[in-house]
Amino acid sequence: MSSAAPDEVLDAARALVAAFGAHDVVRYFASFAEDASFLFHNTDEVITSRSRYEEIWREWERDGFKVLGCRSLDQRVQILGRDTAVFTHRVRTRLAGEAAELSERETIVFRRNRSGTWLGVHEHLSVDPHP
């Protein structure tokens, strides 16, 4: 496998963000490895698999959760070796029923799989102190 290219990781991150912003659940979750973990400021647990996150997402949807749009700002990619990269950005999300945009910061760790596809293996979302 060739060395990691920041543009490949950025493309994977942008596709993930676009799927999230479109509330395209299938495409969004396909952007993560099954063994991915998730740490969100608005959940009590560290989510230890994609399937568990999908369960939580369905619960949110039953409560009216729907993403109306998402903007990614200040994108940065750090390459760590051949098959690992860290993507960070500030994210602005519009949700159904919310009067204001959510202002958050996010880190997504990507790992390249055997077929060369970059998948998220960890996501950490926090409140952006500088909206």
Burial class of residue 38, CB neighbours in 10 A (0-12, 13-18, 19+): buried
Domains and CATH numbers, the chain: 6-127 (3.10.450.50)
Per-residue pLDDT, averaged over 116-122, amounts to 97
Give residue-wise pLDDT tens across range 60-90.
Answer: 999 999 999 999 999 999 999 999 999 999 9
Q: What is the model's pTM?
A: 0.94
- Report the DSSP pairing between strands 32-40 and 118-127: parallel
Give residue-wise pLDDT tens across range 18-36.
Answer: 999 999 999 999 999 999 9
What pLDDT is stored for residue 131 in this prediction?
Answer: 75
Give residue-wise pLDDT tens across range 90-104.
Answer: 999 999 998 889 999
Q: Are 127 and 41 in contact (CB under 8 A)?
A: yes
CA distance 59 to 52: 11
Which DSSP symbol is given to 3? P
Local confidence band at 4 (pLDDT 50, 70, 90 cut-offs): low
Share of the chain above pLDDT 90, in %: 92
Chain centroid offset of residue 2 CA: 25
C-alpha pair distances (Å), 65 with each of 68, 94, 111: 10, 11, 29
